[in-house]
Structure 1
Amino acid sequence: MSNYQSIFDVQKEFFFTDGTKTYEWRIDQLNRLEKMLVENQEAFCRALKQDFNKPPFEQLFEITVPLGNIKYYKANLRKLMEPEPVAIPEGLEKTGNKGIIYKEPFGVTLVIGPFNAPVLLLLDPAIAALAAGNPVILKPANTTPTVAALFAELIPRYFEPQAVNVVTGGREEITELLKLPFDFIFFTGSSSVGKVIMRAAAENLTPVILELGGQNPTVVDETANLDIAVDRIAWGHNAISGQWCIAPGYVYVHESIASQFIDKLKKSTLKMYGEDPQQSPDFARMISEHDTERVASYIIPEKVVLGGRYDIKARYVEPTILYPSTWEDPALQQEIFGPVLPVMVYADFKEMVDIIKRKPKSLAAYIFSKNQKNIDHFLNSVSFGGGCINQTNLHCWIDSLPFGGVGYSGMGKYYGKAGFDALSNTKAMLIGNPDLELDVFPPYANKDIAKNLSIFG
């Protein structure tokens, strides 16, 4: 029996005691997680800095967002756990029957986190799972080894192993973990690995949430406030050195404002990161030399209007704008996941939207416009996980907005109530009147079946 099997068995046996289903257990786990984050904030920030030079704002972001998520669940947990009365056919209701929806935890949950937000995107799914009453096994990204080691040190200090445990390692460890019959799997990462997770989950018919990625479209029409648009696009694309699953992946800008947009976007990027972004304290590094080389290969020198420099050994790619780009360019053949931004020009709004809608469905999409007809047409025509109008990126940290992908960019939503519901099995119950006489059973001869069945209508 593998060590992972024993970890799983301990959590499974504890789950069978029904101990995780109480309000007190769930609140205790949330309090423990909150305490771990608050007491070790500096250690987490140092680890994020060590692994890929995350700037201070991005470090704190990884701590404050989970703390806000914990705050939401602590304030709303009793209400979320309450059985929910629902309407049933009038005839049944009048005869003393009731419809109730109960929410119960699935059971032992595996949470596999990504490298780009290795604290936040590991803990936010875990927070939803614990609030819903599920024991959790955490698998932090092996490509952020300092953060992973910190989790391995802290989790046993703050949690009982039957409630929360952690497994570190890479592909071999994940392969072994996926052989176990988990009750739920939550994965954040690439679409290619998402397919592997889904195939493994199918062996045990394990439900999954897959938070993946894709090439997120950003549209800037001729009515947009360009000063607002360029700042939000430059930050949204280049934060975490572009390694953000919801980052603007490419921009379509109307031909009448394209030159003006490019000039302003260049100035905004320079304002944020300076003439030499490699020296900027606010610009992160790529996660690996391999990924640095991959992203650098998308740079077409003759299309570079800003940036273009890179240093493989230093894991650095300069914030780069490619213009004018086309769908044949290397940067538009897949998710870039780096600080290289292709900009394309369009003339006809509906034709441009028709092109976007035929691409793989993205995790996010953004439009900058004051034209409500354009906005409505974009939202109605293009399928994507979620996004913003006249803003980028921030939609995914608001607990009232369910976050997740669609199609190639993932499945399932979480955050806030949506997260609690996603990590809970919906148990629908009809509570019958124990004294109601209802004869709809054989033999049917000489019975007014229609009258008896009328209560269901």
Structure 2
Amino acid sequence: MVSTLTSSIHIQEAIAKQRAFFGTGKTKSYDFRVAQLNKLLGVIQEHEQLILDAVYADLRKPAIEAYGSEVLITQAEIRYTLKHLKTWMKPLKVGTPITLFPSSSYIHAEPLGVVLIVAPWNYPFSLMIQPLIGAIAAGNCAILKPSEHTPHTSKAIAKIINNNFDPSFITVIEGGIETNQALLAEKFDHIFFTGGTAIGKIVMEAAAKHLTPVTLELGGKSPCIVDSDCDLDITAKRIIWGKFYNAGQTCVAPDYLLIQKSIKPLLIEKLVTCVKTFFGDDPQASPDFARIVNERQFDRLVNLLDEGKILIGGQSDKGDRFIAPTLIDQVSPNSKIMEDEIFGPILPILEYDQLDEAIAFINARPKPLALYLFSKNKQIQQRIVQEVAFGGSCFNDTIMHLGNPELPFGGVGNSGIGSYHGKASFDTFSHRKSILKNSFRFDLKWRYPPYTMTLDTLKKMIK
């Protein structure tokens, strides 16, 4: 039976049990970590349909999108971690300067202890499990807090974890704001939070009281630049797919377009065509378009629909939590829709003449979690890398960089602190302990008082 812990005393008991279990040292062995990762992979495979059903109940997410972004990506991450874990755990020998001869130097990765992972609602399963994979791989115990805004997925996570893992090792605590507050009041060895910037500040403030390190995976207005030197047909398809995947409720979805003005009319035509091709004349009837998570988010998004000129979309149905995939032109850079991350199926379109204008526009705003550039021009690609700050990027694609475990995923500035995926997840949940080993074979007397070497001699030796 799945238990729900909400009171502060129950949370404290859960943390105490995990601290005691971590103190036994069992989580530190390679065999234990591998066994737990294999168990996690097995229970995910066993409960695939439960996960898909839960995500559909919460977000009406199409089965293909749900399987790819919630199930497949987590299974791939576990397999990747199992393949590389032994190498990651090995002490890393590093160089030692000649001044420290005959010493040798090593870096040991050790687990942090008991960690808290707080998941968001937009990808409620994978964004809970992916950080957990890193926590297990690094040898930690973990308390998981799913989002209360996706209650079906929260219950599914609790069932999968609490029915299959020792709560002294991993446990799920469900609940709302009060539970979040009670959890943040406690001391953890690391807090991993995925969500909005405003809540991220609250998490960081709470963590600061205990000097708890944090990883904050936040968001921001991710720009998409379209240069005239690109394949417009493929560009249009990849933008529309990336923007309206999960009804735009993706932290790295293109938030606004910056189109080189000479190609803007033609690209808009192709974007509109792609919306119709993907979702039909009546997107509400399409089985391939998700829904807004709740009425609060629905109301927030509907209030943005009076901005600019709607090229396609704009329809909404509160009872169905449906907002049509919408393209909006003639948007003012100072309008409400350009203030905060949209996080929904609305895509504003702006134009630029020279690339300098686009770069200046982006750099005048908080650093985004992602940036997208469509251009064949390698000089333009290099300028974007060198002149614009962002968390991660795709050139000539959108959101696909999340699928490569070799690429650390994380933000910069307002879009986040820290990163994860693959080795970066292992590093996030590890302390890199520095070790210098000296020898008894040599003992240079000049290092000890009373000092007989002159300063000039020392300077000559180290030059």
1:449 offset after TM fit, Å? 7.0
Distance 1:362 1:443 in 2: 55
1:374 offset after TM fit, Å? 1.5
Distance 2:308 2:418 in 1: 41
Q: Are residue 35 (structure 1) and residue 42 (structure 2) matched? A: yes
1:40 offset after TM fit, Å? 0.4
Q: Are residue 174 (structure 1) and residue 187 (structure 2) matched? A: no
Q: Which residue of 1 aligns with 2:133?
A: 127
Distance 1:417 1:262 in 2: 40
Provide Cα deviations, 1:282-302, integer angstroms capped at 9, x if missing partner. Answer: 101001111111111111276
Provide Cα deviations, 1:326-371, integer angstroms capped at 9, x if missing partner. Answer: 2122211110000000000111111221111111001000000011
Q: Which residue of 2 aligns with 1:437?
A: 443
**Would you say the 8 A contact 1:250–1:342 is kept in 2?**
yes
**Would you say the 8 A contact 2:446–2:452 is kept in 1?**
no
Q: Are residue 385 (structure 1) and residue 391 (structure 2) matched? A: yes
Provide Cα deviations, 1:236-295, integer angstroms capped at 9, x if missing partner. Answer: 011111100000000000111100010000001111111111111110100111111111
The amino acid across from 1:108 in the alignment is V
Matches within 5 A, 1:319-358: 319-358=325-364
Please provide the CA RMSD for this pair. Answer: 1.6
1:375 offset after TM fit, Å? 1.4
Give the SS at the match of 1:414: coil
1:163 offset after TM fit, Å? 1.1
Q: Are residue 229 (structure 1) and residue 235 (structure 2) matched? A: yes
Matches within 5 A, 1:375-414: 375-414=381-420
**Would you say the 8 A contact 1:301–1:308 is kept in 2?**
no
CA gap of 1:280–1:89, structure 2 versus 1, over 3 A, is same
Q: Which residue of 1 aligns with 2:9?
A: 2
1:312 offset after TM fit, Å? 1.8
Give the SS at the match of 2:393: strand
**Would you say the 8 A contact 1:252–1:344 is kept in 2?**
yes
**1:312 pairs with 303, 310, 318, which one?**
318
Q: Which residue of 1 aligns with 2:256?
A: 250
Q: Which residue of 2 aligns with 1:69?
A: 77
**1:23 pairs with 24, 27, 30, which one?**
30
Give the SS at the match of 2:40: helix
Identity of aligned residues (%): 38
1:415 offset after TM fit, Å? 0.8
Q: Are residue 97 (structure 1) and residue 110 (structure 2) matched? A: no
**Would you say the 8 A contact 2:225–2:358 is kept in 1?**
no
The amino acid across from 1:88 in the alignment is T
Q: Which residue of 1 aligns with 2:5?
A: none
Distance 2:61 2:418 in 1: 29
Query: TM-score with structure 2 length normalisation?
Result: 0.95
1:18 offset after TM fit, Å? 1.2
Q: Which residue of 2 aligns with 1:151?
A: 157
The amino acid across from 2:27 in the alignment is T
**Would you say the 8 A contact 2:307–2:335 is kept in 1?**
no
CA gap of 1:451–1:4, structure 2 versus 1, over 3 A, is farther
Q: Are residue 84 (structure 1) and residue 100 (structure 2) matched? A: no
Q: Are residue 369 (structure 1) and residue 375 (structure 2) matched? A: yes
**Would you say the 8 A contact 2:279–2:289 is kept in 1?**
yes
Q: Which residue of 2 aligns with 1:280?
A: 286
Q: Which residue of 2 aligns with 1:114?
A: 120
Distance 2:446 2:337 in 1: 66
Distance 2:456 2:99 in 1: 13
Provide Cα deviations, 1:164-221, integer angstroms capped at 9, x if missing partner. Answer: 1000011110100011110011000000000000001111111111000000000001
Distance 1:412 1:455 in 2: 40
The amino acid across from 2:357 in the alignment is E
1:440 offset after TM fit, Å? 5.2
**Would you say the 8 A contact 1:320–1:339 is kept in 2?**
yes
Give the SS at the match of 1:293: helix
**1:215 pairs with 211, 221, 242, which one?**
221
**1:52 pairs with 45, 59, 62, which one?**
59
**Would you say the 8 A contact 2:307–2:331 is kept in 1?**
no
Q: List alignment gaps of at least 5 residues for structure 2.
A: 1-7
Query: TM-score with structure 1 length normalisation?
Result: 0.97
1:419 offset after TM fit, Å? 1.3
1:436 offset after TM fit, Å? 2.3
1:96 offset after TM fit, Å? 2.7
The amino acid across from 1:29 in the alignment is Q
Q: List alignment gaps of at least 5 residues for structure 1.
A: none
Provide Cα deviations, 1:12-52, integer angstroms capped at 9, x if missing partner. Answer: 11111111110011111101110110000001101011111
**Would you say the 8 A contact 1:215–1:334 is kept in 2?**
yes
